[in-house]
A and B are shown apart, each in its own frame.
Chain A
Amino acid sequence: MSLDRVDKNWLFRGQFMARPHIEPLNPLLHLSSQKLTLGCPLLDHRLRGGLPVGSVTEIAGESASGKTQICLQILLSALLPPSRGGLSAASLFIHSEFPFPLRRLRALSSSSSLSDPLDHIFVAAAHSPHDLLSLLAAAESLVARPPTRLPIRLIVIDSIAALFRSDFDNTPSDLKKRSFLFFKIAAKLKEQARRFGLVVVVTNQVVDVVGSEDGPGRLRVGNYAYLCSSGRQVCPALGISWANCVNTRLFLSRKDMIVENNASSRTTRRMQVVFAPHLPEASCEFVIVRDGVFGVDL
């Protein structure tokens, strides 16, 4: 979309006096604070209720840290009524990682109390940032006029990083192009989150932090000076640009500990709040079991 196509005249004459949507805060109190449960009261408690409606939450972590597991879990919790922390809503799952974990989703949905949950989960594949933008444009009509009796109120993108893996080199001009796309995608997601009262979750990969003390990877972003997973110092992919695009950033980490003279290993997993406008620094240990992802109290 180019600024050229907008009527230049009204920009400069200030004649466009259309009243933007002014919202008195009091009546909005219940809408703005609505949260989607993660499916576990302990994890919800760390997030003050769950994932907020109207905002973009990023879940970053290395492979097998639990990102997709949590995503599948919230596809199901969205179907719960608000009294149980859900949205009574269908979801759209856009995946760029393959294959789509259908078997795991089936297993989780069979152990849930809901009837026909899979009928209310829409899945689409994206192979590039432009694919994603087209999908979001098409999704708008889906969200506005849902085909099933339930509206769509959750969009999950798993993952944003995989969309940018190929196609972009490390040259300044490519990085700039990539950055433009981040802001275009984020603006679209936030607009839809606002207009349709959606929860938007985007997963992100992590990269190893290397380089000199002054390098960009060393820059502290959020509540922790360092983020570690599997014994390595890491940071979420796509740089500061993308970090500017999300409202809340959660980080999932794992640590494999050898127990009892190399006889076995135990994996401990942790969810941390890296930054959020409504949350203080918080972390919670969790496990991934047959029935899903659950926080553990120590």
Chain B
Amino acid sequence: MSASIAMAESSRSGGHALLDGAQTAWDMLSEEQMQKPITTGCEELDTILGGGIQCKAVTEIGGIPGIGKTQLGIQLAVNVQIPVQYGGLGGKAVYIDTEGSFMVERAHQIIEGCIADLFENFEHRKQSLVCPDILQPNSFLANIFYFRICSYTEQIAAVNYLEKFLEEHQDVNIIVVDSITFHFRRDFDDLAMRTRVLGGMSSKLMRFAKKHNLAVVLLNQVTTKFVDGSFQLTLALGDSWSHACTNRIILYWNGNERHAYIDKSPSLRSASAPFQVTSKGIRNVTSNCKRVRMM
């Protein structure tokens, strides 16, 4: 867009504006990369998400224990790192673990699965598209900036601290908070204050998403509410704060299959897709489907 504005200005002022507003081709490519969504590892889920988890947006992902929220969180922190040469963003991740669910050994497995699939999908190439040091599990682990939070005060401090951290680490393309509500579900004397604090936190995260072109993924728990004579699953702490989220995805069991559906989105239609949690991470249910990405 800047290039066309530059062209328009140059036609008026005779050439000088071409330098002021112009972008290099590299800048345009970078901007395009930053808009690229982050694949979830499951093609069907990517499809209903319009390609994957969007940058410059806050996505809330909720579901009951054991459905795969943390699995998806770790998968995204890994997939954001897929090198540009392999069709990814080549970015880094911030993982804020508030519950102690992040297990390094599982992250290691997911990383190995991701690297294996990259090689398989690009096997027509005789050699690696990037320096071999990049496609190593330890390299991927080093690119996940991990924060372990043990209380709501630490959570508030961590989000405040991110402001400076993101300035110093411009290559972070995703922030995962696992989970956003756990420390706020205890007793508070002033519930209105709690709502304001959570709201403030999510607006701050939204600001980071827009300013630094990154995806913010907030994992949330669910609770049961007795509504209209039946029990319904709702996201913890309700709608009082999550209006600041751009998108909302619910993970749920459909018989014996895990499904994800889009509960809220400004641009995507409400749709649902099945996914699987395998030893390699989040994948399609029909795992024999291979798609070779041609660059």
Contacts and interface: CB of A to CB of B under 8 A. Distances in A.
Interface of A: 1-4, 6, 8, 11-12, 14, 16-26, 28-29, 32-33, 48, 52, 54-56, 172, 177, 179-181, 183-184, 187, 190-191, 193-195, 214-216, 219-223, 225, 239-241, 243-244, 246-247, 249, 274-275, 277-278, 280
Task: Tell me what chain A mostly uses at the interface: helix, strand, loop, or mixed.
Answer: mixed
Nearest to B141: A25
Which 8 residue pairs of A and B lie closest in terms of their CB atoms, listed nearest first?
A275-B66, A2-B189, A222-B66, A278-B103, A191-B150, A180-B187, A183-B186, A183-B185
A57 B9 CA distance: 64
10 contacts: A3-B194, A14-B163, A16-B157, A20-B154, A32-B103, A33-B105, A239-B224, A240-B223, A247-B100, A249-B65
Interface in B230-285: 230-231, 233, 236, 253, 256, 279
Interface in B136-194: 138, 141-142, 144-154, 156-158, 160-161, 163-164, 182-183, 185-190, 193-194
Interface residues on B, range: 35 or more
Contacts of B230: 214
Given A20-B157, A191-B150, A48 B141 contact: no
B197 interface: yes
Contact of A2 (B102, B157, B188, B197): B188
Given A184-B186, A214-B230, A278-B105, A26 B149 contact: no
Most buried by B among A2, A11, A16: A11
B150 A25 contact: no
Contact of B103 (A56, A179, A219, A277): A277
A215 B102 CA distance: 31
Given A12-B200, A17-B157, A52-B103, 17 more contacts: A14-B163, A16-B157, A18-B157, A20-B157, A22-B145, A25-B142, A26-B141, A26-B142, A32-B105, A54-B100, A55-B101, A191-B151, A194-B148, A220-B253, A241-B223, A244-B222, A244-B223
B166 to A, nearest CB: 13
B1 interface: no
A20 B200 CA distance: 19
Interface in B196-246: 197, 200, 204, 221-224, 226, 230-231, 233, 236
B274 to A, nearest CB: 15
Contacts of A219: 64, 224, 231, 233
B81 interface: no
Interface of B: 64-66, 70-71, 99-107, 138, 141-142, 144-154, 156-158, 160-161, 163-164, 182-183, 185-190, 193-194, 197, 200, 204, 221-224, 226, 230-231, 233, 236, 253, 256, 279
A21 B157 CA distance: 10
Contacts of B256: 225
A219 B232 CA distance: 10
Given A183-B185, A249-B65, A3 B193 contact: yes
B270 to A, nearest CB: 22
Given A16-B157, A247-B99, A277-B106, A214 B231 contact: yes
A3 B197 contact: yes
Nearest to A246: B65
Nearest to A225: B256
A4 to B, nearest CB: 5
Most buried by A among B145, B147, B161: B161
A54 to B, nearest CB: 6
Contacts of A222: 65-66
Contact of A221 (B64, B106, B144, B194): B64
B285 to A, nearest CB: 16
A202 to B, nearest CB: 14
A32 B141 CA distance: 13
B106 A172 contact: no
Contacts of B186: 1, 180, 183-184, 187
Most buried by A among B64, B66, B141, B145: B66
A56 B160 CA distance: 28
Contacts of A32: 103-105
Nearest to B139: A26
Most buried by B among A25, A26, A172, A193: A25
Contacts of B182: 183, 187, 244
Contacts of A181: 187
A184 B253 CA distance: 28
Nearest to B231: A216
B194 A190 contact: no
B55 to A, nearest CB: 23
B104 A21 contact: no
A243 B158 contact: no
A221 to B, nearest CB: 6
B64 A240 contact: yes
A243 B281 CA distance: 23
Contacts of B190: 2-4
B230 to A, nearest CB: 5
Contact of A6 (B106, B153, B160): B153
B224 A187 contact: no
A148 B160 CA distance: 41
Contact of A20 (B161, B185, B187): B161
